[in-house]
Amino acid sequence: MDPSRISFEALTPTAFLHRSAGVFADKVAVIDGDARWTYAQLLDRCTRLAGALHASGVAPGERVAVLAPNSHVLLESHYGVPLAGAVLVALNMRLTAVDLGYIIGHSDAKILIYDAEFEDTARAIAAAVKRKLTLIRAGGDDQYEKFLADATPYTTGVADERGLISINYTSGTTGKPKGVMYHHRGAYLQALAMAMHTHMHESSVYLWTLPMFHCNGWCFTWAVTAAGGTHLCLRKLDPALTWQHLRDSGVTQLCAAPTILIMLAWHEGAQALPRTVNVATGGAPPTPALLARMAELNVNMTHLYGLTETFGPAVLCEWRHDWNRWPAEQQAQIKARQGVGNVISQPLRVVNSEGHDVPRDGEALGEIALRGNNVMLGYYRDDEATRKAAPDGWFRTGDLAVMHADGYIEIRDRAKDIIISGGENIASVEVERTLSAHPAVLEAAVVAAPDEKWGEIPVAFVTLKPGQTLDEAALIAYARDNMAHFKAPKKIVFGDLPKNATGKIQKFVLRDTARGLRG
- Mean predicted confidence (pLDDT) in 66-92: 98
Q: Indicate if the pLDDT at residue 463 is higher than 90.
A: yes
pLDDT per position as a tens digit, 193-237: 999 999 999 999 999 999 999 999 999 999 999 999 999 999 999
Residue 386 has φ and ψ, to the nearest 5°, of: -65, -45
Domain boundary among 380, 414, 448: 414
pLDDT per position as a tens digit, 319-371: 999 999 998 878 888 888 899 999 999 999 999 999 999 999 999 999 999 99
Torsion, Cα of 60, 63, 68, 71 (10° steps)? 20
Q: How far apart are CA 465 and CA 264, in angstroms?
A: 12
Are 424 and 392 members of one domain?
no
Are 184 and 39 members of one domain?
yes
**Residue 285 falls within a domain, yes or no?**
yes
**Residue 225 falls within a domain, yes or no?**
no
**Residue 403 falls within a domain, yes or no?**
yes
| Half-sphere exposure in the Cβ direction for 436 (13 Å, CA) | 24
**What is the per-residue pLDDT for 1?**
67
Are 332 and 437 members of one domain?
no
More confident residue, 437 or 43: 43
pLDDT per position as a tens digit, 257-303: 888 898 899 999 999 999 999 999 987 778 778 888 999 999 999 99
Are 17 and 162 members of one domain?
yes
Q: Indicate if the pLDDT at residue 172 is higher than 70.
A: no
Domain tally, the chain: 3
**What is the per-residue pLDDT for 122?**
97
Lowest mean pLDDT among 1-5, 416-420, 472-476, 504-508: 1-5
| Half-sphere exposure in the Cβ direction for 95 (13 Å, CA) | 25
- Mean predicted confidence (pLDDT) in 105-133: 95
**Residue 203 falls within a domain, yes or no?**
no
**What is the per-residue pLDDT for 68?**
98
CATH code at 310? 3.40.50.12780
- Mean predicted confidence (pLDDT) in 431-449: 92
**Residue 218 falls within a domain, yes or no?**
no
Annotate 461-479 with b (16+ C-beta within 10 A) or e (fewer): bbbbbeeeebeeeebbebb
Query: Which range of residues forms the domain containing residue 20?
Result: 10-197
**Residue 2 falls within a domain, yes or no?**
no
Domain boundary among 414, 439, 461: 414
**Residue 137 falls within a domain, yes or no?**
yes
**What is the per-residue pLDDT for 220?**
98
Are 428 and 486 members of one domain?
yes
Q: List the one residue out of 92, 144, 75 whose CA is nearest residue 113.
A: 144
- Mean predicted confidence (pLDDT) in 394-415: 91
Instruction: Evaluate whether 260 touches 503 at the Cβ level (below 8 Å).
Output: yes
What type of residue sits at position 309? E
- Any idea how long the chain is? 519
